[in-house]
Structure 1
Amino acid sequence: MNWLKYQARQRPDKKFINELTFKEVEARVNDLAGRLHKFIRGQQRAALYANNSVATALFYLALQSLPVEVLMLNSRLTHHEIAKKLKTLNIQVVFSQDDTFISYSEVFQSDITENIRMAGEYNPEQIAVIMDTSATSGTYKSVPLRWKQFYAHVQASQKILGVTEDDNWLVVLPMYHIGGLAILLRSLYNGTGITLMERFDEELTLQLIENGSINMLSVVPTMLNRIVDRIHKHHLRVVLVSGEFIPRPLVEKCLTKKIPIYKSYGMTETTSQSTTFSVMDNPLKIDSVGLPLPGVTIRINNPDANGIGEVLIQSPMLMDGYLGQEPVSGFFNTQDIGYVDGDGYLYILDRRKNIIISGGENIYPREIEDVLYAHPAVSECAVVGMKDERWGQVPVLFVVSSLDEHIIISYLAERIARYKLPRKVIHLAELPKNAMNKVLKKDLVEKYLC
């Protein structure tokens, strides 16, 4: 089904993207597709190089209607990285919000091509988007997501999060990452509104929350941590939080303030969410990342005596495979380490590559980080492994805090085993992060420990 055409007929006057209604969005997308056609010239793929904006959303939807496979380029990439990726994927046409490539303004001012062929229905096998993995500690991989995966995703997500006529989802996550684009497509499918923000703005976000303009919000933990203390009133129905690490103190603070936090676990390869749950409804499961969405199966591979092992996922939302690599067959190894409890809730202990093996003992950095985030004087922290001749590896702590090393170590010593204590504490003004505000541990290792 062509979701935009359907919603424009069913809800023509309902607001969809900011102040634009579904009918207005359809008209602008059709007009834009006519202008884009001559730039595409029969190309199979094109790329978008831009931050969040109404124009970016319109360009994406217009390219889908042609139809064209769209690579969403991370706006933080260097020119060298962009050139390499475009060459690898054989992409010759790129549209950008500025003059780096073919500018949005040039397209808007161009003539409309007559008698173009536009997609009547979305082909389930058609690649809807190509995205990079977040690459917090390695090289980028290109993930092609097809309409069949998005269709399965929006159906499963709807069953867990529900839908109301008044839903308006704030989009502060970049649309060149799955967390941002998925909101656009979920709302398109559900016939609900979104409020697009170019980038995360604390003051504007708080204003939209408190005046009731939005009732749904997707953020990573670092974003929520920057505003949670200043949320005094709200009309929020869902606050979806995902990311590599969701500190327990942050979740507890949300519960105290009656903020409806939903913890979620997923990745680009699984078309966003694989597990989700309302912490307010299930506070005893606060440390988990929730139950599998409908259709998702989770398996723990090579479990130890405590049931801890590699997290494998199989679902209709799972990609067919990375571009240029072998297709995924059966279960997909997430590279995360965790376990499933007796009630089916998934617990993620850490990324496999982050685990520190010291003297034969496994040290999970998240455990140490979680303890530190409970201290009010710790703003940010990250624990990584450093090579050690005697122990193989030892933990090193990077922290944003006014506390000195002695106080930090003393605080930890009362709460974790001695072998888990950091052997070095490095104070920083801010931890390096990617566009999704995930901490880049590989940058810390390369800059300070190599």
Structure 2
Amino acid sequence: MRDGTDIQMPLWLTKRAALTPERTALASGGGNMTWEDLESQAKVTARRLAKLGIGEGDRVALLMQNGPDMAVVIHALPFLGAVFVPINSRLVPSEIRWQLADAGAKLLLYDLPHRETAETAAETEVLSWDRLASLKPAEGPLRSHLHLGELHTIMYTSGTTGRPKGVMLSYGNHWWSATSSVFNLGLDMNDRWLVCTPFFHMSGLSILMRSVLYGITAVIHPSFDPAAANRAIREDGVTIISVVSTMLAQMVEEQGGRGYPDHFRCMLLGGGPVPKPLLERCRDQGIPVFQTYGLTETASQIVTLAPEDSLRKLGSAGKPLFPSELRIMDGEEEASPGQPGEIVVRGPNVTLGYWKRSDVTREVLRDGWFRTGDIGCVDREGFLFVLDRRSDLIISGGENVYPAEVEAALLAHPVVVEAGVTGVADKRWGAVPVGFVRVKPGEVVTEKELVRFCGERLARYKIPRRIHFVRELPKNASNKLVRRRLPELLEEKEEKR
């Protein structure tokens, strides 16, 4: 029986360039590029990489800033059958060195802003984008077809527990991710999807994959800036943007109560549980927010709220996208509606497994079901509500405290802009929640006031024992809160004392 992974099809960029050559593929501060131009540049780049000996199955790591150059390289690799290994630009050289060795990267390609880091980190061959662009292209044929079961990407997780793991994603994973999304959100040939999350992150890469399959424009920003993102929606015709809650909060704040133009149809919101006060604020301002749930291991979203349910099920991540499935597991038993448990998913967009980690792969992938490590519940209508990461769960006096719920209570206060909650050891209760907040410039609120505010909204065991005021919260490259680094803020306070 065919499982679909052996299906052969033309390379996506070649097919897209043949179908709609004059449509705009990429838009950035440097101008626009059509699909025909993008294919031409990608082929030349592939031939230059071939000159360096890059070929079938070779892993090529990219340490580059978001922009057309990086997009060209990503699209060039399939012409050689090479595997894309994105490198997080926020990593230190020793972390990059480990990932390059683990992936067995044959080449690290970097751009000028990352030159020092690349040359310090690499024990493999390194090459700048400028140097690559000066090479004479090799002769000979390039690949014209792909198989959905082939490996396209090895993307390393953030490493919340030990060393990062290389998530293996096939062409088929990307194909089904894009297909599932369009079944839910629909498609307009005039769509322009803003990329302001990094290409080395699943959120950014998935937009590039969808743009070539849908034939729509990817509007590329080098990094996230709330004013620039809002301006792109108002003035550059952006119709869709992918964000996490901290990004959305900044955009709403910068927008200052102004609505978005009618052409803007989707604020795709992911990155974990979202504070309900933020969703309510967006609802009141008419911002079309569609909450999602997904992971690197699912090639982006696997659960998304349908447009018609966005207001009725505020706070829900929605239902599994077509043709994926979802369960909530309490140990080895499926949980009843409303009961919290581990989110377990299955579908053709789920990872092939972890690179060189067959032991971990066997542990989390059983009969096609992927154990996410996230905690959630499903209501009687089948809508998923994401509660938290299992690793972030605080068990206080035998009670489960979900940091996201406490953060939502803090964020409901009118002067609190950002909040983070983590657990600290406690002799009596085992652990207790501690909060960290950033308040609006010029505003003042005391710890006592915030504790009392939370007491009006939370059970006693969920109220933060201490609340610390900070200038900024630790975030990763995609602007998601990194809770595991919150204790470092406590250590810094102690050192200053």
TM-score range, shorter chain: over 0.9
Q: CA deviation at 1:306?
A: 4.8
1:39 to 47, 52, 66: 52
Secondary structure, in 3 states, of the residue corresponding to 1:372?
Answer: helix
Give the letter for the 2:89 counterpart.
S
Matched, 1:316 2:348: yes
Alpha-carbon distance in structure 2 between the residues aligned to 1:305 and 1:278: 20
Matched, 1:372 2:385: no
Alpha-carbon distance in structure 2 between the residues aligned to 1:281 and 1:413: 31
- Matching residue of 1:335: 373
**For structure 2, which runs of at least 5 residues remain unmatched after alignment?**
1-8, 119-125
- How far does the alpha carbon of each residue in 1:191-240 deviate from its partner, in whole angstroms, 9 at most, with x for none? 11111111012222221111252111111111111111414332211110
Alpha-carbon distance in structure 2 between the residues aligned to 1:348 and 1:281: 16
Alpha-carbon distance in structure 2 between the residues aligned to 1:233 and 1:341: 32
Alpha-carbon distance in structure 2 between the residues aligned to 1:190 and 1:428: 43
CA distance 1:263–1:410, change in 2 (3 Å): same
Secondary structure, in 3 states, of the residue corresponding to 2:422?
Answer: strand
- Matching residue of 2:437: 399
Q: CA deviation at 1:442?
A: 1.2
Matched, 1:433 2:475: yes
1:191-270 pair list within 5 angstroms = 191-229=215-253, 230=255, 231-234=258-261, 235-270=263-298
Would you say the 8 A contact 1:171–1:197 is kept in 2? yes
Q: CA deviation at 1:41?
A: 4.1
1:291 to 304, 319, 322: 319
CA distance 1:137–1:285, change in 2 (3 Å): farther
Matched, 1:91 2:105: yes
Q: Which moved more, 1:434-443 or 1:299-308?
A: 299-308
Give the letter for the 1:379 counterpart.
V
Matched, 1:8 2:17: yes
- Matching residue of 2:122: none
Secondary structure, in 3 states, of the residue corresponding to 2:153?
Answer: strand
CA distance 1:263–1:203, change in 2 (3 Å): same
TM-score of the pair, normalised by structure 2: 0.87
Give the letter for the 1:232 counterpart.
G
- How far does the alpha carbon of each residue in 1:405-447 deviate from its partner, in whole angstroms, 9 at most, with x for none? 0100111111111121111111111101110111111111244
- Matching residue of 1:107: 132
1:409 to 437, 442, 451: 451
Q: Which moved more, 1:175-184 or 1:305-314?
A: 305-314
Give the letter for the 2:169 counterpart.
L
Moved over 6 A (4+): none
1:98-247 pair list within 5 angstroms = 98=112, 99=115, 100=118, 101-115=126-140, 117-135=141-159, 139-229=163-253, 230=255, 231-234=258-261, 235-247=263-275
Secondary structure, in 3 states, of the residue corresponding to 1:184?
Answer: helix
**For structure 1, which runs of at least 5 residues remain unmatched after alignment?**
none
Structural RMSD (CA): 1.7
Give the letter for the 2:220 counterpart.
L
Q: Percent identity?
A: 35
- Matching residue of 2:391: 353
Q: How many residues align?
A: 449
Alpha-carbon distance in structure 2 between the residues aligned to 1:119 and 1:377: 56
Give the letter for the 1:120 counterpart.
S
- Matching residue of 1:30: 43
Q: CA deviation at 1:244?
A: 2.2
Alpha-carbon distance in structure 1 between the residues aligned to 2:53 and 2:487: 42
Secondary structure, in 3 states, of the residue corresponding to 1:158?
Answer: helix
Give the letter for the 1:30 counterpart.
K
Secondary structure, in 3 states, of the residue corresponding to 1:71?
Answer: strand
Would you say the 8 A contact 2:58–2:106 is kept in 1? no
